[in-house]
Amino acid sequence: MRLRALAPLALALLAGHPALADDQLQALSHTLDALFRADTSQGVMAMTVVTPDYERTLKMSVATRGLDDTLVRILEPHKERGISTLKKGTEMWNYLPRIKKVMRIPPSMMMGSWMGSDFTNDDLVRGSSWEADYTATLAPDLPADAPCIVYVPRPQAAVTWSKVEACFAGSPALPVRLDYFDEKGRKARTMTFEAIKELGGRRIPTKTTLVPLLKPGHRTVMEYLEMTYDAPLPPNTFSQAALRRDL
């Protein structure tokens, strides 16, 4: 009787903790999804773009609401102050204060560079979720405190990558590196996370470095300088009028 009761547990042990592995996967994917997201967020970022031909740093204000709405406005350098990007759902507009014009970004330009960085417009627009859009598997033979997850997009998900590998460290676990593989299976870009700090009441990596591996000499570093989470935003923060408003 006692033996029979223990049998399922023994089976579970033999199968390598499937229940435990699933929990861990889910928890890590959730961490990744929730890392920079909130009901609302507001902050200031510095973006440094390094190329073989120039290096420049932009300071910008960022406001987000959920996954759908984002407003980014350049604060510095002075020459480009006020250049803004509004994203609502899958649509995107740029505002150019010097000529006082709003330009909609057409779908064909979504893979184009955003503000001359190594991020694409698509990176900004995409509201993809690691939990919902990818099938996750734990990479084998890694220590429990430094796990890696292999994400393969679900067939119906509109994802540009064929595979993404995410590695975590620490306790509670935070991402340290994401490797993106293109449709040819080449490792196309690497995103690393560092400088873990308490910002706006959250412990997050405050420095993200994106290296496009197929473009030697290029690198974009994004640093969070100030961050406030879940504070109420003024109405119409994500509107065409806000996009055009003077800074």
Partner 1 sequence: MALALRLGLRNLRRRPMRTALTAAMLAIGTALLVFSVGLNEGVYASLIDVATGTWTGQVQIQAPGYEESPSLFETVNEPGPLLAALEARPEVVAATARVEVAGLLGAGARTVGTLLQGVDPVAEPRVSTLPAALSAGAWLPTADPDARPIVIGVGLARRLGVGLGAELTFMGQAADGSVAAELFTVGGLIDSGSAEVDAQLALIRLADAQALLVLGQRVHRVVGRLTSADAATPFAATFQAPPGLRLLPWQALLPGLDQSIRSDRAGGQIFMAIMLVVVVLGVTNTLLMSVFERTRELGLMKALGTPPRQLVATTLWESAWLSVASTALGTALAVALILALRDTGIRMFDEPMEFGGASMQVAYPILAREVVIYPLIIAVVGTLAGLWPAWRAGRLDPVAAMREG
Task: State whether residue 246 is helix, strand or coil.
Answer: coil
Are the CB atoms for 32 and 213 separated by under 8 Å?
Answer: no
Taking the complex as a whole, the smallest distance from the CB of residue 213 to partner 1 amounts, in Å, to 16
83 contributes a contact to partner 1 by CB under 8 A: yes
Residue 151 Cα to chain centre, angstroms = 14
* 30 versus 101: smaller Cβ distance to partner 1: 101
Taking the complex as a whole, the smallest distance from the CB of residue 114 to partner 1 amounts, in Å, to 11
Residue 234 is given by DSSP the state P
79 contributes a contact to partner 1 by CB under 8 A: yes
Distance from C-alpha of 175 to C-alpha of 235, rounded to nearest angstrom: 33
For 1-157, where are the E strands, in sequence order?
40-50, 55-65, 69-76, 84-88, 91-96, 101-104, 134-138, 148-153
Q: Binding residues for partner 1, how many (CB under 8 A)?
A: 26
Query: Using CB under 8 A, which of the segments 15-23, 60-68, 93-101, 133-141 binds partner 1?
Result: 93-101
49 contributes a contact to partner 1 by CB under 8 A: yes
Q: Which of 98, 186, 187, 203 forms a contact with partner 1 (CB under 8 A)?
A: 98
Contacts of 65 (CB under 8 A, 6+ apart): 39, 40, 233, 237, 238
Residue 105 is given by DSSP the state P
4 contributes a contact to partner 1 by CB under 8 A: no
Query: Using CB under 8 A, which of the segments 12-20, 104-112, 170-178, 222-230 binds partner 1?
Result: 104-112
Are the CB atoms for 28 and 147 separated by under 8 Å?
Answer: yes
Q: What mask, x for binding partner 1 by CB under 8 A, covers residues 58 to 77?
A: -------------------x
Per the DSSP assignment, residues forming a β-bridge with 136 are 151
106 contributes a contact to partner 1 by CB under 8 A: yes
Name residue 162's amino acid: S
CA distances from 218 to 55, 70, 117, 221 (A): 9, 25, 9, 10
* 221 versus 233: smaller Cβ distance to partner 1: 221
18 contributes a contact to partner 1 by CB under 8 A: no
Q: Residue for token digits 């970004």?
A: 105
213 contributes a contact to partner 1 by CB under 8 A: no
Taking the complex as a whole, the smallest distance from the CB of residue 181 to partner 1 amounts, in Å, to 22
Residues lying near partner 1 in the complex (CB under 8 A) are found at 49, 51-56, 77, 79-80, 83, 94, 96, 98-99, 101, 103-106, 108-109, 112-113, 115-116
